[in-house]
């Protein structure tokens, strides 16, 4: 992880930021070597999958040859969107396994709900494809470890959609934290207060909409009646498919805490919260939640709230590294340093807010493509990075579900003396889908 923390100056251009990524020479690792074209397929293209493919199609010599989704309405819409972007329609699939059979596809984007990430990623690597998988990398701790192993076993280039890892201003902020100027950093506060994320109200179950392969959408998840509140965007708020704000925005922002502190999994976690603001909503994940993660010498505190936007420092999201000499506050828009005051003046020089580039996703995609071309698997958000923060977020949810302080056992990859918490590490897949075991 330390190599990914080498920072790029914020004054650098996007091209310079990509050029700074370490890479080793090698043959172009794609099926279309003659014309140096990268051919991609997209699995799950309703939300972030489409945002990702737009970022890919902004790059030179990239073609989207195929898309897959379980909703025909989405497929029809995105076919037209992609034709407008590249002047050519992609082939359309309802089953991702058929898309993976295309030999000319070099890489796939996985933009499905979280509960599908592990199975599709492992199958894609096994089919010889490079993978760009949306965050969180996995819906459980066990799946995250299996995906990390798959990246190593199949020797494919894997990038997790934690695009803040490629935004230069974050790396500048990490360099300041690691310089020692803040003094001893005792606490890292991470928060997400999103006023636009209002949980849905209750609606009755209904028949599956025309054109939706609901059985395929469920995949390995438990069989339940169709309900619009559990479908498309709102899947985030139900345990079968995701982990709420904890694994949604939490993975992005907790990842910045890990990068800044050069840390991995915590020693322990404890959590409190619930549906405190919207008890009438059918969502299962907490609308309000706090988690305290214990590390050697410091704590990381996560805090989220749905429906309100006034978080710490009057920001709706951010990460604050709190040291004896001052506090560094960073968010997607930039970073700054607020000094502590000693008897002789500030203990660290104030840093007036330095803006970010706003090019994180573009740079992230560029990094992935360059790594494929150079046969370099250490992407800016490789499977080890993805596994660490996904597991950290899931630990917070497991602590919440059990109501206990849980202690991680890194040697055995479970929780110490806690069978209840350890049972929540591994999901139970619905037949005929099989849990990945790499």
**Structure tokens, 74:** 């989405």
What does the pLDDT look like over 66-79, one tens digit per residue?
Answer: 999 999 999 999 99
Q: How far is CA 252 from CA 112, 237, 386, 438, in A?
A: 17, 17, 10, 26
Mean pLDDT in the chain? 92
Mean pLDDT of 377-391: 97
**Torsion-angle region of 218 (φ positive above 0: left; ψ -120 to 50: alpha; else: beta):** alpha
| Residue ranges of the chain assigned to CATH 3.30.360.10 | 172-198+227-355+389-417
Sheet with 298-306: list strands edge to edge: 351-355, 334-339, 326-331, 317-323, 185-194, 298-306, 288-295, 268-274, 406-409, 414-415
pLDDT band at 32 (very low <50, low <70, confident <90, very high): low
Nearest-5° Cα angle at 50, 435 to 142: 20
Distance between first and last Cα of the chain: 22
Q: What's residue 187's pLDDT?
A: 98
More reliable by pLDDT, 5 or 145: 145
Looking at residue 244, the DSSP 8-state letter turns out to be: G
**Structure tokens, 320:** 């604050």
- Kindly report the backbone phi and psi dihedral angles of residue 214, in degrees, each rounded to the nearest multiple of 5, phi listed first: -70, -35
State which of 13-17, 38-42, 375-379 shows the largest mean pLDDT. 38-42
What does the pLDDT look like over 192-246, one tens digit per residue?
Answer: 999 999 999 999 999 999 999 999 999 999 999 999 999 999 999 999 999 999 9
| Residue ranges of the chain assigned to CATH 3.40.50.720 | 2-165+361-383
Please count the CA atoms within 13 angstroms of the CA of 361 that sit on its side-chain side. Answer: 15
Select the CATH number that applies to the domain covering 2-165+361-383 from these four: 1.20.1630.10, 3.30.450.20, 3.40.50.2020, 3.40.50.720.
3.40.50.720
Q: What's residue 20's pLDDT?
A: 39
Q: What's residue 388's pLDDT?
A: 98
Q: What's residue 33's pLDDT?
A: 59
CA atoms of 55 and 193, how far apart (whole Å): 27
pLDDT band at 34 (very low <50, low <70, confident <90, very high): low
pTM of the model: 0.91
DSSP-based three-state secondary structure for 241: coil
Q: Is the pLDDT of residue 327 over 80?
A: yes
Q: What's residue 352's pLDDT?
A: 97
Mean pLDDT of 360-380: 96
Fold for 172-198+227-355+389-417, please state it.
Answer: Dihydrodipicolinate Reductase; domain 2 (3.30.360)
CA atoms of 115 and 29, how far apart (whole Å): 29
Q: Is the pLDDT of residue 11 over 50?
A: no
**Structure tokens, 343:** 């008897």
Q: How far is CA 351 from CA 3, 168, 328, 345, in A?
A: 25, 17, 9, 15
Q: What's residue 8's pLDDT?
A: 32
Q: What's residue 7's pLDDT?
A: 30
Q: Is the pLDDT of residue 304 over 60?
A: yes
pLDDT band at 36 (very low <50, low <70, confident <90, very high): confident
Element at 288 (helix H, strand E) = strand 288-295
Mean pLDDT of 110-124: 98
Q: Is the pLDDT of residue 10 over 80?
A: no
Mean pLDDT of 243-257: 97
- The rounded percent of the chain whose pLDDT value lies above 70 is 92
What does the pLDDT look like over 121-172, one tens digit per residue?
Answer: 999 999 999 999 999 999 999 999 999 999 999 999 999 999 999 999 999 9
DSSP-based three-state secondary structure for 169: helix
């Amino acid at each position: 992880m330390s190599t990914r923390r080498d920072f790029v100056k914020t004054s650098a251009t996007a091209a310079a930021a990509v050029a700074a990524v370490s890479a080793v020479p090698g043959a172009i690792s794609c099926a279309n070597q003659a014309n140096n074209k990268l051919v991609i397929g997209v699995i799950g293209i309703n939300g972030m999958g489409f945002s990702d493919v737009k970022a890919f199609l902004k790059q030179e010599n990239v073609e989207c040859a195929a898309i897959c989704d379980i909703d025909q309405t989405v497929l029809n819409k995105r076919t037209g969107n992609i034709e407008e972007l590249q002047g050519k329609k992609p082939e359309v699939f309802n089953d991702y396994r058929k898309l993976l059979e295309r030999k000319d596809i070099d890489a796939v984007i996985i933009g499905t709900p979280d509960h599908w990430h592990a199975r599709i990623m492992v199958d894609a690597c096994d089919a010889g494809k490079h993978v760009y998988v949306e965050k969180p990398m996995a819906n459980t701790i066990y799946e995250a470890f299996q995906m990390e192993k798959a990246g190593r076993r199949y020797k494919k280039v894997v990038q997790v959609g934690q695009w803040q890892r490629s935004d230069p201003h974050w790396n500048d902020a990490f360099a300041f934290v690691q310089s020692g100027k803040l003094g001893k950093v005792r606490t890292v506060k991470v928060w997400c207060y999103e006023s636009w994320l209002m949980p849905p109200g209750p609606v009755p179950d209904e028949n599956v909409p025309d054109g939706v392969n609901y059985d395929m959408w469920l995949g390995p998840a438990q069989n339940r009646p169709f309900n619009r509140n559990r479908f498309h965007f709102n899947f985030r708020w139900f345990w079968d498919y995701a982990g709420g704000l904890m694994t949604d925005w939490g993975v992005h922002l907790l990842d910045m805490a890990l990068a800044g502190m050069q840390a991995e999994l915590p020693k322990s976690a404890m959590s409190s919260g619930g549906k405190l603001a919207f008890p009438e909503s059918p969502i299962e994940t907490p609308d309000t939640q706090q988690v305290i993660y214990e590390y050697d010498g410091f704590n990381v505190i996560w805090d989220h709230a749905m429906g309100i936007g006034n978080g710490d420092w009057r920001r709706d999201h951010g990460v604050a590294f709190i040291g004896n000499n001052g506090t560094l506050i960073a968010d997607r828009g930039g970073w700054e340093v607020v000094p502590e005051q000693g008897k002789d003046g500030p203990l660290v020089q104030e840093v007036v807010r330095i803006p970010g580039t706003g090019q994180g996703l573009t740079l992230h995609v560029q990094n992935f493509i360059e790594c494929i071309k150079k046969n370099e698997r250490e992407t800016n958000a490789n499977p080890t990075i993805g596994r660490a923060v996904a597991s950290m977020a899931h630990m917070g949810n497991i602590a919440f579900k059990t109501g206990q302080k849980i202690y991680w056992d890194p040697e055995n990859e479970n929780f110490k003396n806690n069978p209840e918490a350890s049972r929540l590490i591994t999901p139970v897949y619905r037949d005929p889908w099989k849990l990945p075991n790499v």
